[in-house]
């Protein structure tokens, strides 16, 4: 061996173990999934259980070969961006969240970390993805975008409250998907010959004044779900019962908290699907290549205790198709 070649060999030798060590460290690193929970720990529990169980079925066990970091915003939209930034600083491998505003906060915080969602009504209209079939970018998930669902909710309300003629529609208009559903609910109500009243809110403090101005102006209330109203569902239902208003909601949590009815996607099932997305990404898939999916399970829940308090009787035809009756 020539002297120059020998020196080159000796000088380059330490670099090879260093490169190999770095590669091995990357391979051995336990991936981290960051979760931005728009509501609170209690509300997230059922979704968390579904998500983690499905991950485990796919071979990912929290604390073993994957780490899950959860942060709770408690329904406060001002915390979404802070939590998203915190998860980015933690260098998580995936961010999981639900609701349009939390996903927007995550998307604004990173354009590289994959973001997976459930419970978003209109991901295309909100600018989260380019298209359902080809999301592009770093965001994908399970949408609740089903044009006919608002019509079904209004229909169910009419069945349990046959004298319904004026429908109030409550929603946080800071969310694009909420605005879209409010419009769909208005259109559906019009086809049934109902008058509508939009109740627009931005903050939790707007809820009580809205109800104060609602007296004798509506026969029922359609509540559009988002993190803000989810965190205040007990307050909304208490005030609705006080105003003698039958209510329709978008998820079981509202009916369980005293709402009259709910009809919507099974969120735990949606988060099971999100776990499958996470599995694909952890194995090398890109979020932009995974099509946004639609929910496959919808649940009708009727709270008979609330119906009794409002002096209503649920028709047997409605009870027969309900997935759950709360007594």
Residues 189 and 239 in one domain: yes
Residues 191 and 313 in one domain: yes
Q: Is there a contact between 131 and 124 (Cβ–Cβ < 8 Å)?
A: yes
Residues 281 and 139 in one domain: yes
Q: Tell me what pLDDT residue 9 has.
A: 40
Report field, pTM of the whole predicted structure over 0.85:
no
Rounded mean pLDDT of the chain?
A: 89
Total number of domains in the chain: 2
Q: Tell me what pLDDT residue 65 has.
A: 95
Residues 256 and 317 in one domain: yes
Q: Is there a contact between 96 and 52 (Cβ–Cβ < 8 Å)?
A: no
Contact partners, residue 150, CB within 8 Å, separation at least 6: 181, 184, 185, 187, 188
Q: Tell me what pLDDT residue 10 has.
A: 40
Residues 132 and 189 in one domain: no
Two tokens, residue 56: 């485990």
Residues 271 and 312 in one domain: no
Q: Tell me what pLDDT residue 147 has.
A: 58
The enclosing domain of 260 has a CATH number of 3.40.50.2300
Rounded distance, CA 144 to CA 122, Å? 7
Q: Tell me what pLDDT residue 22 has.
A: 40
Q: Tell me what pLDDT residue 8 has.
A: 44
Residues 80 and 200 in one domain: no
Positions in the chain whose pLDDT score sits under 70: 1-28, 145-147
* Domain, as residue range, for 42: 31-144+266-295
Predicted confidence (pLDDT) per residue in 15-57, tens digit: 444 444 344 444 568 999 999 999 888 888 999 999 999 999 9
Q: What length does the chain have?
A: 327
Q: Is there a contact between 93 and 33 (Cβ–Cβ < 8 Å)?
A: yes
Residues 229 and 313 in one domain: yes
Residues 59 and 178 in one domain: no
Burial 46-71 (b: 16+ CB within 10 A, else e): ebbebbbebbeeeebeeeeebebeeb
């Amino acid at each position: 061996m020539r002297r120059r070649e020998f020196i080159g060999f000796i000088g380059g030798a330490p670099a090879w173990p260093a490169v190999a060590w770095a590669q091995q460290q990357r391979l051995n690193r336990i991936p981290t999934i960051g979760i931005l929970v728009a509501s609170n720990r209690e509300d997230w529990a059922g979704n968390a259980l579904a998500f983690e169980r499905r991950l485990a079925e796919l071979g990912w066990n929290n604390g073993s070969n994957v780490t899950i970091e959860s942060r709770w915003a408690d329904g406060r939209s001002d915390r979404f961006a802070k939590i998203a930034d915190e998860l980015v600083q933690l260098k998580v491998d995936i961010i999981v969240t639900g609701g349009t505003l939390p996903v927007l906060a995550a998307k604004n915080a990173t354009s590289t970390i994959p973001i997976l969602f459930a419970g978003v009504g209109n991901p295309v209209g909100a600018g989260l993805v380019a298209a359902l079939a080809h999301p592009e970018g770093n965001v994908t998930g399970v949408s609740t975008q089903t044009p006919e669902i608002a019509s079904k909710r209004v229909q169910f309300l009419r069945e349990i409250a046959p004298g319904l003629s004026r429908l109030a529609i409550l929603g946080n208009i800071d969310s694009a998907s909420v605005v879209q559903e409010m419009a769909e609910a208005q259109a559906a109500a019009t086809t049934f010959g109902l008058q509508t009243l939009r109740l627009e809110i931005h903050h939790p403090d707007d809820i009580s004044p809205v109800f104060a101005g609602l007296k004798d102006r509506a026969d029922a209330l359609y509540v559009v779900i988002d993190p803000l109203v989810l965190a205040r569902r007990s307050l909304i239902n208490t005030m609705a019962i006080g105003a003698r208003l039958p209510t329709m909601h978008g998820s079981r949590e509202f009916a369980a908290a005293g709402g009259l009815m709910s009809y919507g996607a099974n969120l735990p099932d949606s988060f099971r699907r999100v776990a499958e997305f996470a599995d694909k990404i952890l194995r090398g898939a890109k979020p932009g290549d995974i099509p946004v999916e639609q929910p496959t399970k919808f649940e009708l829940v009727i709270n008979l205790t609330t119906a009794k308090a409002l002096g209503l009787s649920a028709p047997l035809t409605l009870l027969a198709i309900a997935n759950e009756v709360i007594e």
